[in-house]
Structure 1
Amino acid sequence: MSSSIITNALHTLEQAGVRLDSGMSDAELDAVQEKFGFRFCRDHRELLATAVPVGERWHDWRRDDEQSLRGALAWPIESALFDVDTNDFWAPPWGERPADLAERLAVARRKLEAAPTLVPLYAHRYMPAGSTNPGSPVFSVYQTDVIYYGFDLENYVAREFANSPAHGQTQEWVPFWSDLAEGTWDNLGEDDE
């Protein structure tokens, strides 16, 4: 049975003309998780089990080729590394910033890989992997420009597909990604050499 978050999100998608295919079976969802090494958060899994949004920019775990899905999974880390390399980004919790670029990139990669996995939903919108609680946020991720694009899946769909404003606040803190979204570091993006 769908939660109200999923029911309302699907209603908004239908009203927006998004094509919805039949939901994925537990076996299909489990196979995706096994193949790609993550667990869908509760809301993302429930959405896909109820109906699969398809079309341009949707990540279709049933039909998209493995390479494109792996690329979308890698995007948050690879695009953040671009900012480390090109735009002098360094997250304060990572400790002292190495002077050598190769070492800096290696440290940043280790730290980013230790952060919770973000799972692609639509274009560069992501949900955190693994949460079993309802109400996981949806992030817009473009390099280290990370914002909440929805405080939960229902709010995200209303914002993206019905031009509703963001409202409320997320119930779930996602290490590293929420810090970026909320700008909680004193010197976010500054060069600390």
Structure 2
Amino acid sequence: MDLEGVLADLDAAGVWLDPALTAEEIADVERRFGFTFCADHRALLELAVPVGDHWPDWLSDDEEPLRQSLAWPVESVISDVLSGDFWPASWGDAPADRETAARENLAAVPRMVPVWGHRYLPAAPAPRGVPVFSVYGTDVIHYGSDLADYLAREFLGRSGPVPPATHGIPFWSDLVDGV
């Protein structure tokens, strides 16, 4: 994964890049929001911080937009559960209180961390080279085979099918596979 090359191309394409986050700033974000960036996400933020519309502002004093973005993957799945459109077989029979049961099941899946808009990477301990997920309820797809591939597709016009993921992420990859 060539993040440095992709970041140079993003800069040349007009994507605004702020200086990298320090180790202390990354640790503070992780403490405040209760997750650890996966290695690929951390590597990006240690090189540069893309800024602008739809990019998470990790250093903002207003934490609410970030909290909403962090909650979005679970809350959008809950919405599909409550509409009656979703209950995976792996959760067993649907109980009367579907919302509580769904929240309990979702508490056990890897947390998703926003990259841009509703594009997400799993939090650590995800391995290097995990795909970037587009999450909209239970409509989940891979939007890049890894972070560099995603950035090139979303912002630099790379086209063609997304290569198959080399790493599966519990629950989220199942949604991609239609399970």
> Is TM > 0.5 for Structure 1 vs Structure 2?
yes
Aligned pair 1:21/2:18, yes or no? yes
Name the structure 2 match of 1:83.
Answer: 80
Aligned AA for 1:179?
Answer: D
Aligned pair 1:170/2:169, yes or no? no
Q: CA RMSD in A?
A: 1.4
Name the structure 1 match of 2:128.
Answer: 134
- Percent identity between matched residues is 48
Aligned pair 1:104/2:98, yes or no? yes
Aligned pair 1:34/2:31, yes or no? yes
Gaps of 5+ in 2: none
Specify whether residues 89 and 52 from structure 1 end up closer, same or farther in structure 2 by C-alpha distance, changes over 3 A only: same
Aligned AA for 1:91?
Answer: P
Name the structure 2 match of 1:190.
Answer: none
Instruction: Give the deviation of 1:132 after TM superposition.
Output: 5.7
1:140–1:149: 8 Å Cα contact kept in structure 2? yes
Segments ≥4 residues shifted beyond 4 Å: none
**In structure 2, what is the Cα distance between the partners aligned to 1:66 and 1:25?**
19
Name the structure 2 match of 1:8.
Answer: 5
Instruction: Give the deviation of 1:9 after TM superposition.
Output: 2.6
Name the structure 1 match of 2:90.
Answer: 93
Q: 83-92 or 9-18: which moved more?
A: 9-18
Name the structure 1 match of 2:177.
Answer: 182
SS at match of 1:59: coil
Name the structure 1 match of 2:113.
Answer: 119
2:4–2:47: 8 Å Cα contact kept in structure 1? no
Gaps of 5+ in 1: 186-193
Aligned AA for 1:147?
Answer: I
**In structure 1, what is the Cα distance between the partners aligned to 2:8 and 2:61?**
24
Q: 86-95 or 46-55: which moved more?
A: 86-95
Aligned pair 1:46/2:20, yes or no? no
Instruction: Give the deviation of 1:16 after TM superposition.
Output: 2.5
